Amino acid sequence: MDERALPVLLQQASDRQSTPQERLVRFEAIFDQLPARDGASGPLHARCLRAILTLIDPVERRDLFLHYHRRHRFQLRTDPTPRLFALVSELQKPEHRPTPNAWASLDRVWSPGPSTNWPVWRGLCRVLAAQMAEVIQAFQQSRESPKNKRDFNELVLRAVLRLAAPAGGDAATTLTRQFELLSDLAHALAADHRCSGLHLLETACAEWIEKEMNNWPSKPMAELETELGLLAALRLVGEQHSGRGQGRSAVRLDDGRAESAVQGFFDRLKKGQRLQEAANL
């Protein structure tokens, strides 16, 4: 498979002027040429799945995905990628997005499994971010009560946390993936809402953590590791998008131990990521 030719082949395969049968033949030819799905080839597979999602007919999208799955099988017991694809496919209809059903789906979204290919998973999450960005902005700017807005922002954060956390994975991997998914979400938000939208999510994350600490004062800090890492990732992404001279200050936790942990995660992310490249993957 010539990586440079793939975008052209996918454009031809997904041509809406063609018949469904013609598109099927072209996509099958691409599927046959794809190398086995692994860490190196994952971006190629992600491109193919995203091209399928551009098609209008949900039945055609489903059938093409099944043809892809026959050639490059997912281990269904250890990889929820097919379920994530189905959700993203359903949300391709804009009217399905600002609904309680969509929010309920976000609330029970899956974590990547042991055999999940991260580039493919992240590619689908990027589509999900693009789908929901307008909904997030509309809700954040609505006349809903502060409590409803806080609950909604927390729902978004819970979805990011789950989508980033590999089953049985380590904290460092989760932290890096949270940063990647939040970077994708930031790019999906409208430019004129990006900074304020991220700040609202950061505030909601800090309130969520403080609520957890107040409800369970004896809770070990280690049990809040993923939430603290999420706040650090939000702080870093927000800093990247704040722009010079805007005076955006990071949200700080009242608890010194928690704030120290967030700062530690923040420093680790900043040192461990080539930030500009990570945000543009």
Q: What is the pLDDT of residue 128?
A: 98
**CA-CA-CA-CA dihedral for 190, 194, 197, 199, to nearest 10:** 180
Q: What is the pLDDT of residue 273?
A: 56
Average pLDDT estimate for 20-40: 96
Sign of the torsion angle spanned by Cα atoms 254, 206, 114, 188: negative
The least confident of 95-99, 100-104, 169-173, 255-259 is 169-173
pLDDT above 70 (res 246): no
Q: What is the pLDDT of residue 248?
A: 67
pLDDT above 80 (res 127): yes
Digit-coded pLDDT (tens) for 44-67:
999 999 999 999 999 999 999 999
Contacts of 110 (CB under 8 A, 6+ apart): 80, 83, 84, 162, 163
Q: What is the pLDDT of residue 245?
A: 42
In angstroms, the CA 143 to CA 100 distance is 17
Average pLDDT estimate for 174-203: 96
The least confident of 14-23, 218-227, 237-246, 264-273 is 237-246
Q: What is the pLDDT of residue 247?
A: 53
Q: What is the pLDDT of residue 31?
A: 97
Q: What is the pLDDT of residue 194?
A: 96
Q: What is the pLDDT of residue 249?
A: 78
Digit-coded pLDDT (tens) for 89-120:
999 999 999 999 999 999 999 999 999 999 99
Taking CB atoms within 8 Å and a gap of at least 24, the contacts of 276-279 are 278/179, 278/180, 278/183, 279/183, 279/186, 279/187, 279/237, 279/240
* DSSP structure string for the chain: --TTTHHHHHHHHT-TTS-HHHHHHHHHHHHHHSPPPSTTTHHHHHHHHHHHHTSS-HHHHHHHHHHHHHHS---TTT--HHHHHHHHHHTTSGGGSSSHHHHHHHHTPPPP-TT--HHHHHHHHHHHHHHHHHHHHHHHTSS--HHHHHHHHHHHHHHHHHHH--TT--HHHHHHHHHHHHHHHHHHS-HHHHHHHHHHHHHHHHHHHHHHHHH-TT--GGGGHHHHHHHHHHHHHHHHHH-TTS-------SSHHHHHHHHHHHHHHHHH--HHHHHT-
pLDDT above 70 (res 244): no
Q: What is the pLDDT of residue 90?
A: 97
Confidence of residue 169 (pLDDT cuts 50, 70, 90): confident
The least confident of 184-193, 229-238, 244-253 is 244-253
pLDDT above 60 (res 278): no
Average pLDDT estimate for 206-216: 92
